[in-house]
Structure 1
């Protein structure tokens, strides 16, 4: 596996994990009625996902150009981090919105 591919894989792991962490922190902030912090954490999660997608796009571009990436446990693990980050961020947005509704009542 070449260095560029390894960097892309590590980008998926790192930024996907950051997105998940920020999403969880957004929920915790909303639970404490700190909605400005919750919104900041959701934005940080979104930014991390953009960076993760950039890493994934590098890998997809190589594949489209005929340079297949070796599928290893590390490759699968990186995709898992990205998908978990996406799922947590999507759910965190909904949970933060629910806390906002509850706080208004």
Structure 2
């Protein structure tokens, strides 16, 4: 694992974690009835996912072009963070929608 690869992998870890944290904050805001904050935190989470996808796309492009993209524990960890972040954002959107329905009743 060289420095160039780590400069792609570390943002995946960072942005995946940021997405998850922002999604959890969005759920908490919705639970408290602050849907403006919930929407803002979902936007932040979604932006983090987009930023992470840039790095992931870079790695996929390299692999598609025949370049060696070594698999390491860092890569596995980065992909785990990204997938968890994506799952949390998707789930948070559904939970927020449910809180909105409950609040209306």
Q: CA deviation at 1:2?
A: 2.9
2:57 alignment counterpart: 57
Structure-1-length-normalised TM-score: 0.97
2:18 alignment counterpart: 18
Between the aligned partners of 1:53 and 1:7, the Cα distance in structure 2 is 14
1:85 alignment counterpart: 85
Per-residue Cα deviation, 1:19-50 (whole angstroms, up to 9, x for no partner) = 00000000000000000000000000000000
- The unaligned stretches of length 5 or more in structure 2 are none
4+ residue runs over 3 A deviation = none
Superposed CA RMSD: 0.7
Q: CA deviation at 1:70?
A: 1.1
- The unaligned stretches of length 5 or more in structure 1 are none
2:34 alignment counterpart: 34
1:72 and 2:75 equivalent? Answer: no
* 1:63 alignment partner, SS class: helix
Moved more, 84-93 or 55-64: 55-64
* 2:89 alignment partner, SS class: helix
